[in-house]
Structure 1
Amino acid sequence: MTPYEEIAAPRDLHADCEAVSRRLEHAAVKATRPAPSLHFDEQPRETGKREIQISEAAQRLANALHLHLD
């Protein structure tokens, strides 16, 4: 094995650079958005609670730890 065997092909490296560039552009757009308001009257009034689903595996694990998620 030579030291150069682990280096990726140029097209793979180029694809990685393009992916990073897209991510950085997306992050720059998010970073330059204005901050959300902290004023109480500008916050949403009614927000529904999310449903929490407990899987059978989580139920068994919780019961084994005596957490009882019934």
Structure 2
Amino acid sequence: MSSYEEISTPGEMRADCEAVSRRLEQAAVKATRPAPSIHFDEFPREVPKREIEISEAAQRLANALHLHLD
């Protein structure tokens, strides 16, 4: 077993470097975007709450534990 056995081929190392370069470019683009607004007037719509469904099995378990999810 050679001490250099784990070293990749030059083609694999080049592909790795290109992949890292692409990821760094994407990160740079995302990092320089302006932050989203937190002002209410820029989001005037109402967002309804999600509907929560309780299955029969969860209802039976809750009732057995005296949690009563009605």
TM over 0.5, shorter chain: yes
Pairwise CA distance, 1:43: 2.1
CA deviations over 1:29-52 (Å, ceiling 9, x no partner): 0000000001011126255778xx
Percent identity, please: 73
Which residue of 1 is the match for residue 17 of structure 2?
17
What is the letter of the counterpart of residue 7 of structure 1? I
Amino acid of the residue matched to residue 15 of structure 1?
A
Matches within 5 A, 1:51-62: none
Alignment-mate amino acid for residue 30 of structure 1: K
Structure 2 unaligned residues grouped into runs of 5+: 51-60, 62-70
* Deviation by residue 1:6-33 (Cα, 9 ceiling, x = unmatched): 1010100000000000000000000000
- Using the size of structure 1 for normalisation, the TM-score is 0.63
Amino acid at match of 2:23: R
**Segments ≥4 residues shifted beyond 3 Å:** 46-50
Q: Which has the higher contact order (CA 8 A, sep 6+)?
A: 2
Residues 17 and 44 (structure 1 numbering): CA distance in 2 closer, same or farther, change over 3 Å? farther
